[in-house]
Amino acid sequence: MKALVLREYRRFAIEDVPVPELQPDEVLVRVRACGICGSDVHGMDGSSGRRIPPLVMGHEAAGEIAETGRTGRGWRKGDRVTFDSTVYCGKCWHCLRGEVNLCDERRVFGVSCAEYRRDGAFAEYVAVPDRILYRLPESISFEQAAMVEAVSVAVHAVGRTPLAPGSAVAVVGAGMIGLLVIQVLRAAGCGEIIAVDLDGERLEIARRFGATSVLKGDGADPAGAIRGLGPGRGVDAAFEVVGVASTVKTAVACVRKGGSVTLVGNLERSVELPLQSVVTRQITLIGTCASAGEYPACLDLIASGKVNVTDFISATPPLEEGGQWFERLYAREKGLVKVLLRP
Ligand SMILES: [Zn+2]
Ligand SMILES: [Zn+2]
């Protein structure tokens, strides 16, 4: 089968590789669309240590079942599916509590690091354990389904956050995940949704997706400006979807006493924390990672039109052009959001 192989850091080749052999509990998925993730783009130069070549990357995929393993479990050839980007064991302490995103044996498709290597979906076929498969509603395209992982990050983050109908919320950072968080908050019935970003175009999109007000975050006191737009006491919850010191500070400073800050972004490994402000105002800090079982809910949100993913898809080139699209994303070409490769 054809696969896009990372041969060396920043060098790809289309190669003919063997079709994966199936374990009894696996199915073979014919990949129809697979998204290039930011972690693939950052990882391909070796900086993350999680894309050691040679490797077939790709963990945001959808396709149809070409073959089922021995156990099968109700899946049939031709079924349209997507699958979790993470293979969890289903047996460890966390998995048994339903926290599959925290699995001790967590393996991400298309990642190779010191602990493991697992080829991903930038290939014609990928072997997938049937416990992580999800059936696609008929109205969802493979391209839309390949966006479900990103939606699940937003849905999980919102689910971790204490919110009530009518809550006032700030979303700091209106990149793709921030914009998805805004849409999920709107679907969840939040009152005021204040979007903050440095980019005016993104803020316009934020408004279209449900932000009730938007703020260019380049002023001297963005947190004060957020309070000015929402309840003067501060918002009930803030989502930090960037992951640098200044935006974490803004998120902490804009919530009311007793409010919460959900930390989604993590560009920086470590940031300074306004400790006294968090302690004396009794702020809850919430970390959130990937998702844990939210895929069916996300597929419903996409199918019902409550969450628009189509607008994020910048291009759907064939797999053969993968290398050049990786370079364009690496160069941060303006206007490119999500590129889906079609094997
Ligand atoms: Zn990803
Ligand atoms: Zn586990």
- pLDDT tens string 225-279: 999 999 999 999 999 999 999 999 999 999 999 999 999 999 899 999 999 999 9
Ligand 1 centroid – CA 39 distance (Å): 6
Query: What percent of the chain lies above the pLDDT cut of 90?
Result: 97
Ligand 2 centroid – CA 306 distance (Å): 32
pLDDT at 53 over 90: yes
Ligand 1 centroid – CA 111 distance (Å): 10
Query: From the CA of 92, which ligand is nearest?
Result: 2
Distance in angstroms (rounded) separating the CA atoms of residues 199 and 217: 9
Average pLDDT over residues 188-212: 96
Ligand 1 centroid – CA 226 distance (Å): 30
Query: From the CA of 292, which ligand is nearest?
Result: 2
Ligand 1 centroid – CA 85 distance (Å): 7
Instruction: Give per-residue pLDDT as tens, 74-124.
Output: 899 999 999 999 999 999 999 999 999 999 999 999 999 999 999 999 999
Distance in angstroms (rounded) separating the CA atoms of residues 283 and 277: 8
How many CB atoms sit inside 10 A of residue 236's CB? 24
Paired tokens of 341? 């490769």
Query: From the CA of 87, which ligand is nearest?
Result: 2
DSSP code string of 25-90: TEEEEEEEEEEPPHHHHHHTTTSSSSBPSSB----EEEEEEEEE-SS-TT--TT-EEEE-SEE--S
Q: Determine the pLDDT at residue 73.
A: 79
Query: From the CA of 121, which ligand is nearest?
Result: 1
Structural element, H or E, at residue 331: none
Average pLDDT over residues 51-61: 97
Return the amino acid letter for 284: T
Q: How many angstroms separate the Cα of 275 from the Cα of each of 162, 218, 223, 253?
A: 21, 23, 16, 11
Task: Say if residues 132 and 83 touch (Cβ distance below 8 Å).
Answer: yes
Q: Determine the pLDDT at residue 71.
A: 80
Task: Say if residues 265 and 241 touch (Cβ distance below 8 Å).
Answer: yes
Ligand 2 centroid – CA 10 distance (Å): 32
**235: helix, coil or strand?**
strand
Distance in angstroms (rounded) separating the CA atoms of residues 341 and 121: 10
Instruction: Give per-residue pLDDT as tens, 138-184.
Output: 999 999 999 999 999 999 999 999 999 999 999 999 999 999 999 99
Average pLDDT over residues 44-65: 96
Of 26, 45, 83, whose CA–CA distance to 291 is shortest?
83
Ligand 2 centroid – CA 102 distance (Å): 7
Kindly indicate the confidence band of residue 72, based on its pLDDT and cuts at 50, 70 and 90: low
Paired tokens of 109? 């498709």
Kindly indicate the confidence band of residue 11, based on its pLDDT and cuts at 50, 70 and 90: very high
